[in-house]
């Protein structure tokens, strides 16, 4: 079920990313699979909290498929927020749960350095900040899907045990390196 849902999310992200007329003109002739085994392998070997599995050239744009894990996090007064300037993210929660904040007001905005791995390989230009007043705060759990548009600040304020999720990232401006394959699954 999990692999089927993940495949469906990839297909939805691709179809939403470009009009059908553009897809027909520029789409590659073959499909790319991101298997449940690849997701599990990258998740098992996570060095940070966010790892791309593959970045695929889908014609007029790239598409990143990543997996993320957040460990236990207790609520606190300052919640770190991120925004990815050029990429939308679609989260599919595969296990665990947590409180996710999105949108609203932030302070202490700092761009990540252009050489940072998150910028070069994972999500493109990104800012960090601290939430002062989020627009939305809600519990997300296994099976939930969240769409975070480019530029929207987001962050976790409470994770009782863990939360793991697949992130689909349409990349219309091609800031991510097409053809990337996570080293832990590269053959």
- Chain segment 59-70, per-residue pLDDT in tens: 999 999 999 999
> CATH number for the domain including 18?
2.60.120.10
Q: What are phi and psi of 149, to 5 degrees?
A: -65, 155
Task: State residue 77's pLDDT score.
Answer: 87
Query: Which of 17-21, 41-45, 74-78, 134-138 is the least confident region?
Result: 17-21
Q: Give tens-digit pLDDT for 49-58.
A: 899 999 999 9
Task: State residue 2's pLDDT score.
Answer: 53
**Which whole number is the average pLDDT over 91-110?**
98
Task: State residue 24's pLDDT score.
Answer: 43
Does residue 187 lie in a domain region? no
Q: Is the pLDDT of residue 99 over 90?
A: yes
Q: Is the pLDDT of residue 76 over 80?
A: yes
Does residue 138 lie in a domain region? yes
Give residue 14's domain range.
2-171
Q: How confident is the model at residue 27 (pLDDT cuts 50, 70, 90)?
A: confident
Does residue 133 lie in a domain region? yes
Task: State residue 74's pLDDT score.
Answer: 94
Closest CA to 137 of 185, 176, 187, 98: 98
Does residue 185 lie in a domain region? no
**Which whole number is the average pLDDT over 13-24?**
46
Task: State residue 26's pLDDT score.
Answer: 67
Task: State residue 8's pLDDT score.
Answer: 46
Q: Is the pLDDT of residue 147 over 50?
A: yes
Rounded Cα–Cα distance for residues 35 and 152 (Å): 29
Closest CA to 70 of 106, 36, 53, 94: 94
Does residue 108 lie in a domain region? yes
77 burial (CB, 10 Å; 0-12 / 13-18 / 19+) is exposed
Does residue 158 lie in a domain region? yes
CB 111 within 8 A of CB 125: yes
Does residue 98 lie in a domain region? yes
Total domains present in the chain: 1
Decide: pTM greater than 0.75: yes
């Amino acid at each position: 079920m999990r692999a089927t849902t993940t495949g469906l999310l990839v297909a939805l992200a691709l179809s939403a990313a470009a009009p059908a007329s553009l897809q027909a003109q520029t789409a590659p002739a073959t499909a790319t699979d991101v298997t449940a085994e690849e997701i599990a392998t990258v998740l098992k070997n996570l060095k940070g909290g966010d790892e791309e599995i593959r970045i695929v050239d889908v014609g007029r744009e790239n598409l990143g498929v990543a997996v993320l894990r957040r460990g236990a996090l207790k609520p606190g007064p300052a919640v770190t927020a991120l925004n990815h300037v050029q990429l939308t993210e679609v989260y599919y929660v595969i296990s665990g749960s947590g409180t996710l904040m999105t949108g609203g007001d932030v302070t202490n905005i700092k761009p990540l350095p252009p050489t940072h791995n998150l910028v070069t390989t994972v999500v493109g230009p990104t800012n960090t900040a601290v939430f002062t007043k989020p627009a939305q705060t809600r519990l997300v759990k296994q099976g939930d899907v969240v769409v975070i548009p480019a530029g929207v600040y987001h962050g976790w304020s409470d994770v009782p045990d863990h939360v793991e999720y697949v992130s689909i990232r349409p990349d219309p401006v091609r800031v991510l390196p097409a053809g990337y394959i996570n080293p832990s699954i590269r053959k």
